[in-house]
């Protein structure tokens, strides 16, 4: 690191783009859910929200953040808030919104008895979900800046320097989808010219309310964009930049590099850019130099990762910041993206070893890091000497720890050869061996793994935690549940049985709790959607498996029935995707460690007589990198880790995999590369479309496209399921078609589960008779 000397001119600003909304004790969740249940008035809800905003801004200011964000707060979702801001309320929700804006807002988010909500989908490659705007050629936008203005005014009155943060117009349209019933060929971006005046109005209102700067978030520009989309971007910012009565505009991007959108924004008549400099986006440093820097503009440098939970490397950041001083007029310091994606406060984690806790940075710690770096940039590194020393010591403790460097794990991963991930027999030979071994009928029936997680099961887990029952008592209850699940499946006539996963609280957490190298948090909640928060485990160190994790339950189940029982595991990609993963080595290396631990579990299951083993990878598709150029490298390690997990089994052991989502067109080759024998997928809602996609792409193996949409309590009739199966048969021959639901049944009730599975089996029987 070069010793940084003070920057001249205006003081360096420390800022963030957003902060966790929920509050220290998830007060927002309680308030919103209380309002839904009629236990709280709207005024009480607003009061809680105001308190949370005040607390958050104060926390930021106390940590040394000199420009706080406003408008990042939300009762449910900030993209839905943007739809309200621009008046894009779907026709079916207008009456409710007119009658009561708050209730109408929640109706758009959650639906009502009669009206469907907006669709929900993932916010880029995070685990946050937003409500998808529905737009059509008839959409009329109208500006409603009330909330934005009110929150800015609130912050200014409290004495903060504040910068409203809005979803930018291009990203808003790129995230939207055509409203139901809109003719094919309509793309929401066609509405840009109608939307820009509405944004200009909101910007003018914010200016009038005292905003010097407004931030427009354009993360959609870090994805591959067409020339038409790039020129729309140029037009949008030419127009907004040229409008008279406007605040200064800061266009922000995050999650990856801007690529070809960087020169477009660099040339636009806006006043500043906020760029991500973490991970792969560190390439922005070279990209910026290549476009000649940002003369005359403000650069907000996102040098502290806003989405992982690890302490920053200050020296590295200071080097980056030092280089940037030569490339822009003013360099400010920020987290790379909104801190919405990380939990609030690592110091609350009293159960984590204090030494290890020092490696963690949640939102509060990250704001302090940003403030420290801003001070270092403004006043020179001597001004932050103590923080730098502490940072160096914490990084060294992490690098030298036995948790992050287990020689046995390292030796084993280093010794992995390509052959470990290759089953020696080709699929065609294996399938014959498996047929002989399993003796299944054509169109065999199975389920995806979990059966209803009843109140009794949850109570049993709570009782165990609270010490009201002991481990033996708990395990008795689990075994009783397994017997019940098996008895039902036998009676219903299902061919490949499952034990029902009653012992699992969550498909990732269950394994994380049993693998060395993972940590659990007590308060590490992050918003998944609306009032739903998740507490992802922390993959902190080298991964190993001290003991078998599932073998006991699977073999118990097998001992109770003569039909084949399928063992159930969560795959390495999903174990990473739904955790906070260490950032001190490539993901590929971490995935390989997890794969080897799971490989041992697969081996133990097989040795204990499990004829079928399913390794779930629902996250394989969703973790696909944002840019196509990065897909191949990701898919290479992702599929390798799956093969490493499953590649050690005998030819007659049948490997299944399962994925939930329906859009597979672009990864069929990767699915084949998993070298699994059977794949089950979600297909009921899209009427078996995925079966056609797989066979169209020449997928040669066995497939179970779901014939029961388990996301709804609706029971599919025999005729309905049979019709879907016949559709499946049009794409996949009978000897390769399986019959199963879309996904696991843990969220379903027993009543609909019984009826639906009985209908599924009957449909299979009928269609079997036809082939
Ligand atoms: N085996 C898991 C279950 O049945 C799979 C869940 C998933 O795909 N998300 O619950
Ligand atoms: Zn699923």
Minimum mean pLDDT range among 67-81, 130-144, 385-399, 452-466:
452-466
Instruction: State the ligand closest to the CA atom of 446.
Output: 1
Whole-complex ipTM: 0.99
Q: What is the pLDDT of residue 9?
A: 62
Q: What is the pLDDT of residue 243?
A: 85
Q: Does the annotation flag 679 for ligand binding?
A: no
- Whether 450 has a binding-site annotation, put simply, is yes
Q: Which residues contact 271 (CB under 8 A, 6 or more apart)?
A: 213, 248, 249, 250, 297, 298
Strand ranges (E), 49-110: 68-70
404 near 541, Cβ under 8 Å? yes
Model pLDDT for residues 296-347, shown as the tens digit of each residue = 999 999 999 999 999 999 999 999 999 999 999 999 999 999 999 999 999 9
- Residues 250-287 have pLDDT tens digits of 999 999 999 999 999 999 999 999 999 999 999 999 99
Residues 211 and 164 sit within 8 Å (Cβ to Cβ) = yes
Buried b (16+ CB within 10 A) or exposed e, 97-136: beeebeebbbbbbbeeeeeebbebeebbebbbbbbbbbbb
Structure tokens at 254: 């995050």
| Tens digits of residue pLDDT in 200-239 | 999 999 999 999 999 999 999 999 999 999 999 999 999 9
What share of the chain has pLDDT > 90, as a percent? 92
Average pLDDT value for residue range 605-618: 98
Q: Which listed ligand is nearest to 571 at the C-alpha?
A: 1
Q: Residue 746 CA: which ligand 1 atom is closest?
A: 10
CB-CB neighbours of 742 under 10 Å: 24
Taking only the tens place, the pLDDT of each residue in 413-450 is 999 999 999 999 999 999 999 999 999 999 999 999 99
748 alpha carbon – ligand 2 mean position (Å): 13
Known binding residue 27? Answer is yes
Measure 448 CA to ligand 1 centroid, in angstroms: 6
Around ion ligand 2, residues with a beta carbon closer than 5 Å are 618, 660, 743
Residue 75 Cα, ligand 1 centroid: separation in angstroms?
30
Query: What are the tens digits of pLDDT across the range 342-361?
Result: 999 999 999 999 999 999 99
Q: Ligand 2: distance of its center to the CA of 617 in Å?
A: 8
Whether the predicted pLDDT of 554 surpasses 70: yes
Most informative mutation of 122, 568, 658 for ligand 1 (most atoms within 8 A of CB): 658
Rounded to an integer, the average pLDDT of 152-159 is 98
The pLDDT value recorded for residue 244 is 82
Residue 732 predicted with pLDDT over 90: yes
Ligand 1 atom closest to the CA of 659, numbered from 1: 8
> In a 3-state reduction of DSSP, which class is residue 533?
strand
- What are the residue numbers of the active site? 711
Question: Mean pLDDT in the chain?
Answer: 96
Tell me: is residue 30 an annotated ligand-binding position: no
- Which residue ranges have their beta carbon within 6 Å of ligand 1? 448-450, 501, 507, 568, 616, 618, 658, 660, 743-744, 746
Q: Which atom of ligand 1 is nearest to the CA of 660?
A: 8
Q: Is the predicted pLDDT of residue 2 greater than 60, yes or no?
A: no
Handedness of CA 572, 573, 578, 581 (dihedral sign): positive
Site to substitute for ligand 1 among 122, 501, 623, most atoms within 8 A of C-beta: 501
**Predicted confidence (pLDDT) at residue 4 exceeds the cutoff of 60:** no
The mean pLDDT of 657-668, rounded to a whole number, is: 84
How do residues 680-698 score in pLDDT, each as one tens digit?
Answer: 999 988 888 888 888 888 8
Residue with CA at minimum distance from ligand 1 atom 1: 449
Range in 157-166, 431-440, 706-715 with the lowest mean pLDDT: 706-715
* Predicted pLDDT of residue 496: 98
Residue 34, annotated as binding a ligand: no
């Amino acid at each position: 690191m070069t010793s940084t000397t003070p920057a001249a001119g205006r003081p360096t600003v420390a800022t963030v783009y957003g902060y966790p909304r929920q509050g220290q004790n998830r007060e927002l969740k309680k308030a919103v859910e209380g309002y839904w249940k009629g236990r709280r008035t709207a005024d009480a809800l607003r009061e809680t929200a105001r308190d949370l905003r005040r607390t958050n801004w104060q926390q930021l200011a106390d940590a040394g953040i000199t420009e706080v964000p406003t408008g990042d707060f939300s009762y449910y979702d900030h993209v839905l808030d943007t739809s309200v801001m621009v008046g894009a309320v779907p026709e079916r929700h207008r009456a409710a919104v007119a009658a009561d804006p708050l209730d109408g807002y929640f109706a758009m988010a959650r639906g009502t008895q009669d009206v469907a909500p907006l669709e929900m989908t993932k916010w880029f490659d995070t685990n946050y979900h937003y409500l998808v705007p529905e737009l059509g050629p008839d959409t009329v936008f109208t500006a409603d800046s009330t909330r934005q203005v009110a929150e800015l005014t609130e912050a200014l009155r409290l004495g903060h320097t504040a910068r409203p943060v809005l979803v930018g117009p291009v990203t808003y349209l790129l995230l939207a989808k055509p409203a139901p019933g809109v003719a094919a060929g309509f793309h929401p971006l066609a509405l840009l010219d109608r939307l820009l005046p509405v944004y200009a109005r909101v910007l003018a209102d914010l200016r009038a309310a005292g905003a010097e700067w407004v931030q427009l978030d354009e993360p959609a520009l870090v994805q591959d964009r067409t020339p038409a989309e790039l020129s729309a971007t140029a037009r949008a910012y030419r127009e907004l930049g040229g409008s008279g009565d406007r605040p200064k505009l800061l266009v922000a991007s995050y999650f990856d590099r801007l690529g070809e959108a960087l020169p477009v924004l660099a040339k636009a008549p806006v006043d500043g850019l906020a760029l991500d400099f973490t991970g792969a986006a560190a390439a922005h440093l070279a990209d910026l130099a290549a476009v000649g820097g940002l003369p005359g503009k403000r650069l907000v440098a996102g040098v502290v990762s806003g989405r992982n939970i690890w302490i920053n490397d200050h020296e590295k950041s200071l080097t980056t910041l030092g280089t940037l001083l030569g490339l822009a007029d003013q360099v400010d310091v920020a987290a790379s993206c909104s801190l919405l994606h990380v939990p609030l406060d690592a110091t609350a984690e009293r159960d984590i070893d204090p030494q290890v806790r020092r490696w963690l940075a949640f939102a509060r710690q990250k704001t302090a890091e940003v403030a420290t770096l801003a001070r270092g940039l403004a006043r020179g590194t001597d001004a932050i000497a103590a923080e730098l020393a502490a940072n160096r010591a914490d990084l060294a403790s992490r690098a030298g720890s036995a948790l992050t460097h287990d020689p046995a794990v390292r030796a084993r991963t280093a010794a992995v050869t390509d052959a470990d991930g290759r089953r020696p027999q080709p699929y065609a030979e294996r399938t014959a061996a498996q047929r002989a071994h399993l003796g299944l009928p054509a169109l065999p029936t199975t389920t995806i793994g979990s059966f209803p997680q009843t109140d009794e099961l949850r109570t049993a887990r709570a009782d165990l935690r609270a010490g009201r029952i002991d481990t033996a008592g708990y395990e008795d209850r689990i075994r009783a549940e397994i017997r019940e699940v098996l008895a039902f499946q036998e009676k219903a006539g299902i061919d490949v049985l499952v034990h029902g996963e009653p012992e699992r609280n969550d498909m990732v957490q269950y394994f994380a709790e049993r693998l060395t190298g993972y940590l659990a948090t007590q308060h590490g909640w992050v918003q998944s959607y609306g009032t739903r928060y998740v507490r992802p485990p922390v993959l902190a160190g080298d991964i190993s498996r001290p003991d078998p994790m599932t073998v006991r339950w699977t073999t118990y189940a097998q001992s109770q029935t003569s039909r084949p029982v399928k063992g159930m595991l969560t795959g390495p990609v999903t174990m990473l995707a739904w955790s906070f993963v260490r950032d001190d080595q490539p993901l590929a290396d971490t995935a390989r460690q997890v794969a080897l631990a799971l490989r041992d579990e697969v081996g133990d299951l097989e040795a204990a007589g499990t004829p079928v083993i399913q390794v779930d990878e629902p996250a394989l598709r969703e973790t696909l990198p944002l840019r196509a150029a990065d897909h191949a490298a990701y898919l290479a390690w992702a599929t390798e880790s799956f093969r490493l997990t499953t590649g050690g089994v005998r030819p007659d052991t049948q490997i299944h995999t399962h994925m939930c989502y329906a859009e597979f067109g672009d990864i069929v080759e990767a699915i084949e590369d998993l070298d699994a024998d059977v794949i089950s997928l979600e297909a009921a809602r899209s009427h078996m479309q995925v079966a056609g996609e797989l066979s169209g792409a020449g997928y040669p193996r066995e497939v179970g496209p779901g014939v029961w949409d388990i996301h709804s309590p609706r029971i599919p009739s025999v005729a309905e399921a049979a019709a879907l199966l016949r559709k499946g048969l049009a794409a996949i021959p009978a000897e390769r078609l399986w019959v199963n639901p879309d996904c696991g049944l843990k969220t379903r009730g027993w009543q609909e589960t019984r009826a639906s599975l009985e209908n599924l089996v009957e449909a299979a029987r009928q269609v079997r008779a036809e082939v």
